[in-house]
Amino acid sequence: MGVEGAVRFDPGLSVHVDTAHLEFEYGPATLGARPELRRLDSIRRSLRDPTCTGPDPVYAIAMDVARLEDVGELRRRMLLFGVVTFPAGTLGEEPVRSQGHVHAVAPHCGWSTPELFEIWEGKAIVYMQESASDSPGRCFAVEAGPGDQVVVPPAWAHAIINANPSAPMVFGAWCDRQYAFSYDEIRQHGGLAWFPVLRGGRIEWEHNPSYRHSPLTSRSSRAHPELGLSRGLPIYLQFVRDPERVQWVSDPARYSELWKRFEP
């Protein structure tokens, strides 16, 4: 695997990410699709300044990346692995980020499924809130760097932020194979409950007045032994060694009680 520039993390997949051109190349034993590009116009309704300028495309997503030998097992388990790259830069006063969404209910399991992120290059913040309704519930901003893992629970609204605007960012993620995104409530509120705003080279958080006020907790990523994860092993290799370790991504009901009190 390679991330163009200084390579500091090996995710266990033969994927080369060209962060300068938002492109992906795959090794001979690796399956991967052409990237989907998210244009600036498609995310404006969730930005603090919908009229801003910034990188366009804002980011690139390659879904269903896998070793060829794993494809059958992934399909049987309704799991999907994706890789995403963000460029350096800003969207007005915000760092480059995704627009935010809630996972639609997956027909095969009847849940809005969770997601497991792993940062490969750069510095990220995974922002999440319990609900996209007027009352957002608990709100968290989880900082993560190469090798760090972050879990977004079922039905939570969330977005990924490039926390270092001077450099690109790359991450991988385990998703449900029947993934779909719901944007309506977030767009109706003009974004998520908190906006990341760059001031003096630092990210500060500004409340979105379209929501009732709910405190924001900022923290570093943590280990998740309660979900069977190992912090020191790449999340793709955790599947390779024992697919049951990440089966909760497409079968969240197995941790139905845990999700009620889960904290990222």
List, for residues 67-94, the tens digit of each pLDDT value.
Answer: 999 999 999 999 999 999 999 999 999 9
Give a yes or no: residue 263 inside a domain: no
Helix (H, G, I), strand (E, B), or coil: what is residue 68? helix
Average pLDDT of every residue of the chain: 95
Give a yes or no: residue 257 inside a domain: no
Alpha-carbon gap, residue 89 to 119, rounded angstroms: 18
Region 113-142: mean pLDDT is 98
Six token digits for residue 30: 């690796």
Give a yes or no: residue 253 inside a domain: no
Helices (H), 214-261: 235-241, 256-261
For 105, phi and psi rounded to 5 degrees?
-65, 130
Question: What confidence tens digit (pLDDT) does each residue in 5-31 have?
Answer: 344 689 999 999 999 999 999 999 999
Looking at residue 7, its pLDDT comes to 43
Looking at residue 1, its pLDDT comes to 41
Question: What confidence tens digit (pLDDT) does each residue in 155-193 have?
Answer: 999 999 999 999 999 999 999 999 999 999 999 999 999
Domain that holds residue 78: 2-248
Is residue 231 a contact partner of residue 150, using CB atoms and an 8 Å limit? no
β-partners of residue 31 are 66
Give a yes or no: residue 264 inside a domain: no
Helix (H, G, I), strand (E, B), or coil: what is residue 73? helix
Give a yes or no: residue 13 inside a domain: yes
Q: How many CB atoms lie within 10 A of CB 117?
A: 24
Question: What confidence tens digit (pLDDT) does each residue in 30-40 have?
Answer: 999 899 999 99
Give a yes or no: residue 113 inside a domain: yes
pTM: 0.95
Is residue 160 a contact partner of residue 84, using CB atoms and an 8 Å limit? yes
- Asked if the model's pLDDT at residue 51 lies above 90, the reply is yes
- Counting residues of the chain whose pLDDT is more than 90, the rounded percentage is 95
> What's the CATH code of the domain at 122?
2.60.120.10
In whole angstroms, how far apart are CA 38 and each of 62, 77, 84, 96? 11, 28, 11, 12
Region 111-122: mean pLDDT is 98
Looking at residue 93, its pLDDT comes to 97
Give a yes or no: residue 259 inside a domain: no
Q: How many structural domains comprise the chain?
A: 1
Give a yes or no: residue 262 inside a domain: no
Is residue 146 a contact partner of residue 217, using CB atoms and an 8 Å limit? no
Q: Note if the bond before 114 is cis, omega within 30 degrees.
A: no
